[in-house]
Amino acid sequence: MSLEKPVKSHARIHKESKTSRIPGFYRLSVEQRLAYLQRNFGLTEAQLASLRDGKALKVKNAVNMVENAIGVLGVPLGLGLNFIVNGREFIVPMAIEEASIIAAVSKGALMIRDGGGFRTEVDEPVMIGQVQVLDLDDPRAVGDRVLEEKQRIIEEANLANIRMTQRGGGVKDLEVRRIDGGEDVGEMLVVHLLMDVQEAMGANAINYACEAAGPVIEEVTGGRVNLRILSNYATRRMARAEFSVPFEALATPEMDGETVAKRLVEADRLAWNDPYRATTHNKGIFNGIGAAAVALGQDWRAIEAGGHAWAAHTGQYRGLTRYQVEDGRLTGTIGLPMQVGWIGGAVNSHPGIKILRTISGVEDARELAGLLAAVGLAQNFAACLALSTVGIQKGHMSLHARSVALSVGVPPEHVEDVARAMIERGEVKMAVAEEVYRNMMQQPTKQVRANTEPLVESFAPGKVVLFGEHATVYNFPGITSSVDVGLKVRILPDPDGPRFIQPTFKQVFDVPKSDQDMQLFSRAVDRALELYDMTREPIAIEVESDLVPGMGLGSSAAFSAALIHALREYKNLEHPDGFDGNLFHDVQQLESIFHGHPSGMDAATVLTDGVIWFRKGPPREILPIRMGRPLHGIVCLVESGARTIEIVRRVQASRDLNPRRVNMLLEEIGELTTDAGVALGMSDTEEVGRLMFKNHELLARLGVSTTRLDQAVETLLDMGVYGAKLTGSGGGGAVIALVDE
């Protein structure tokens, strides 16, 4: 097959293509991948959540899609990358559970990309409907009568799809076939309605047309009409794709490109002439086509059925792709029936498919048909390449190793390291995975890039709230202090960047929703890269933290400040000493990802690095508190804490129910904070301690303390501290105490 022209021109002007070439995409965390999609395709938070949680299709939707619905079964969803088809970029959503498929199709498309990508040609969207006619004395003569009455039959058939006909579609022609039904049935007539279904897959439309045409065909033939239904052997709706790559693009360390090309041709000849090989060969093609078809809401069963039927159209079952060598290049081609739709069916009823359509770049049914043909060709090319060179098992080894690691219970964050260790040993086995992971857990934690010299390193301290929690939300003052532990951000070179290396925080308790924390950190990195126009920078961002998350110690503020400092230093921007309004504004943008509408108190504290008086305003007040001598405190980690935003909402709900009582407590906290500012300025340790305990009692009455926090405060007071209180939003977390040095 040679495609002398690209797919026929469409009336619409294509939107600007998003690149499908995303180096290192597989090395990004899931959250970074989602952040990339959000940035480039304008996805909403709700859409990201549905992809992240596998809940794009809810049971309430599924009930209306299948009978006897009991739930929804999730399938891994990934992206096939690197596709250029007819000069346009496409990203291919793929839903499949087999590990190597997406990696293989992306590799195949990348190699083909170097040769200019794929060219496709797609037929008009003509589907075939069949009307079976039996009990005929002279089928040949009856067939002639049907052809004579063709226009009448077409007009009757089109009454079933008036709107489609008005748009230019509908039944355009018919043909007649005689089929031998054997001694028990005899010769029968089959009338084919040839219908332009436009943007639809067309099953329902063609079935309606067959039903409508049945009575008039029965009248014309004098026979008995039985079946009236579409054919999934859509030979009038073919999709063809081809590519051509130079020999040098095929070369491996062990083999020159011409040898590789000849081996691919040898593999092709076996698939063409031997149905035992052709079956596996074509199964690989539909690994790709089926996965993409499922993700984009297509009837993958119909596509596969038609494809396998076409594989046997010569009278022998053969491979659907062909390879040949010419003029120092390898060319590959594929052609098969492709019945797809861009309206109707799951395309409209499945919310997740609408998201994936946006990502794909596809704009209509014919474009989709060409892309699916290209996907099948890329998948087959990658498989044949592996078979002809390194062998299929070596190509699968990395993904198989990950599966083995997961199967023995290795946590997801350690799967890559365990898989790599097994491959290096040449033993991908469950027992080896368990041994490797056990040894890994007995070793001290190592930084992912310990041997790489950082380009930039930045530090930001954590913080504690000394006075005024929750009252600050209602514009009363608060007093906070930075602490002498914090968080480091390192920027390292990474040719596949920018990447955010999954951070490991000190964690003395199980932190609820820690996965959500990582999502927020990833989103904050993405936002920071946007702020400084670094979304394509070849860097990795690494975090080392001594702050325990969920303790009210300002880990998100420290992260935001350290990251902003690091990026500014990397870009050689002015690095102000102390508090700076522009710096504060940028840190606040990141903090809003974690806390919605933060007051700014945490950001101001970690940027000031001292004790500050804070009021959110307007106007905002951020004032350093100068003390005559230093005071000393300790932080005690008590229990896993609730999320700040949840506790703030709880106080708000309590205030809505009983405004007089809650406002009185908030005012007392505000007045107490003013007194504490004076005591701190005078370095009056005993008065500061007394006010700390009083502040804790007020917070307990506000409902944000817990039994364990109260017990911790009492224990510390019994031990002789000057004062103690919870710090942060409460609901668990830490307490602080004022002590002698």
User: Residue 490 gets which letter from DSSP?
Assistant: E
Mean pLDDT of the 96-114 span: 88
Question: In this structure, are residues 120 and 3 in contact, taking their beta carbons and an 8 Å threshold?
Answer: yes
What is d(CA 214, CA 192) in angstroms, rounded to the nearest whole number? 11
Strands 126-134 and 187-196: antiparallel
Four-residue CA torsion sign, 520, 522, 528, 530: negative
Alpha carbon separation from 673 to 171, 194, 286, 697 (Å, rounded): 81, 82, 69, 14
The secondary structure element, H or E, covering residue 486 is: strand 478-493
- Residues 534 and 541: their CA atoms lie apart, in Å, by 12
**Is the confidence at residue 18, as pLDDT, over 90?**
no
- Give pLDDT tens digits for 163-185: 999 999 999 999 999 999 998 99
Question: For the residues of 4-59, what is the DSSP string, one character each?
Answer: SS-SPPPSSPPPPPPP---TTGGGS-HHHHHHHHHHHH---HHHHHHHHHT-SS-H
> For 536-547, what is the mean pLDDT?
88
End-to-end distance of the chain based on CA atoms, in angstroms? 85
Question: Among all chains, which residue has been given the structure tokens 């000031």?
Answer: 608
**Distance separating alpha carbons of residues 578 and 585, to the nearest angstrom:** 14
Over range 354-379, report the average pLDDT: 94
* H/E stretch holding 177: strand 170-180
pLDDT > 90 in the chain, percent = 60
Tokens read off for 534: 């670094």
What confidence tier does 693 reach under pLDDT thresholds 50, 70, 90? Answer: very high
Distance CA 517, CA 637 (A): 19
Structure tokens of 290? 């089926």
Mean pLDDT is highest, among 346-355, 441-450, 533-542, 685-694, for 685-694
Q: Is the pLDDT of residue 8 over 50?
A: no
What is the C-alpha to C-alpha distance for residues 427 and 400, in angstroms, rounded to an integer? 11
Told to judge if 396 belongs to the known catalytic residues of this protein, a careful annotator would answer yes
pLDDT(14) > 70: no
Distance CA(553)–CA(547), nearest Å, equals: 7
Q: What pLDDT band is residue 581 in, cutting at 50, 70 and 90?
A: confident
Q: What is the DSSP letter of 331?
A: E
Distance, CA of 400 to CA of 606 (rounded, Å): 45
- State the pairing for strand pair 733-739/632-639: antiparallel
Asked if residue 375 lies in contact with residue 288, where contact means CB atoms within 8 angstroms, the answer is yes
- How many CA atoms within 13 Å lie on the side-chain side of 646? 9
Instruction: Return the beta strands (E) in 271-381 as ranges.
Output: 321-326, 329-337
Q: What is the pLDDT of residue 254?
A: 84
Q: Is the pLDDT of residue 448 over 50?
A: no
In the numeric block, the tokens 């063409």 are attached to: 272
Buried b (16+ CB within 10 A) or exposed e, 169-180: bbbeebebeeee
User: Which one of 3.90.850.10, 3.90.770.10, 3.40.50.10490, 3.60.20.10 gives the CATH number of domain 25-119+247-390?
Assistant: 3.90.770.10
Q: Are 240 and 120 in contact (CB under 8 A)?
A: yes
Could you report the per-residue pLDDT of 279-337, keeping only the tens digit for each?
A: 999 999 999 999 999 999 999 999 999 999 999 999 999 999 999 999 999 999 999 99
Question: How far is the C-alpha of 361 from the C-alpha of 367, rounded, in Å?
Answer: 10
pLDDT value of residue 395: 52
Question: Distance between CA atoms of 237 and 99, rounded to whole angstroms?
Answer: 31
**CA 715 – CA 87 distance, rounded (Å):** 72
**367 catalytically annotated:** no
pLDDT of residue 644: 80
Q: Is 469 helix (H, G, I), strand (E, B) or coil?
A: coil
More confident position, 451 or 223: 223
Q: What is the pTM of this model?
A: 0.72
Residue 11 has pLDDT above 60, yes or no: no
Catalytic residue from among 31, 299, 494, 586: 299
Domain boundaries, the chain: 25-119+247-390, 126-231, 397-442, 456-739
Q: Write the CATH number of the domain with boundaries 456-739.
A: 3.30.230.10
390-421 per-position pLDDT tens digit: 655 555 566 567 777 777 778 766 777 888 78
Instruction: Using pLDDT thresholds of 50, 70 and 90, give the confidence band for residue 12.
Output: very low
Of the residues 10, 283, 429, 513, only one is catalytic, namely 283
Instruction: Find the catalytic residue in 281, 308, 396, 616.
Output: 396
Report, in angstroms and rounded to the nearest whole number, the Rg of the chain calculated over CA atoms: 34
Fold exhibited by the domain 126-231: Alpha-Beta Plaits (3.30.70)
Residue 532 pLDDT: 93
Catalytic residue check, 313: no
Residue 385 sits at the vertex; the CA angle it makes with 381 and 391, to the nearest 5 degrees, is 135
Mark 623-653 as b/e (b = at least 16 C-beta within 10 Å). eebebeeebebebbbbbbbbbbeebbebbee
CB 225 within 8 A of CB 132: yes
pLDDT at 425: 82
Tell me the average pLDDT of the chain. Answer: 88
Q: Where are the beta strands (DSSP E) in 329-444?
A: 329-337
- Among candidate residues 422, 310, 424, 427, the one with its CA nearest the CA of residue 373: 310
CB 724 within 8 A of CB 716: yes
Strand spans (E) along 24-160? 77-85, 88-95, 119-122, 126-134
Residue 630, pLDDT > 70, answer: yes
Residue of 288, 271, 283 lying closest to 308 (CA atoms): 283
Which residues, in sequence order, are CB contacts of 105 under 8 Å at separation 6+? Answer: 80, 92, 94, 288, 375, 378, 379, 382
Catalytic residue among 98, 135, 413, 671: 98
- From the list 662, 639, 654, 452, the residue with the least C-alpha distance to 539 is 452
Q: Rounded to whole angstroms, what are the CA distances from 250 to 104, 264, 329, 380?
A: 15, 10, 10, 15
Give the pLDDT band (50/70/90) at residue 345: low
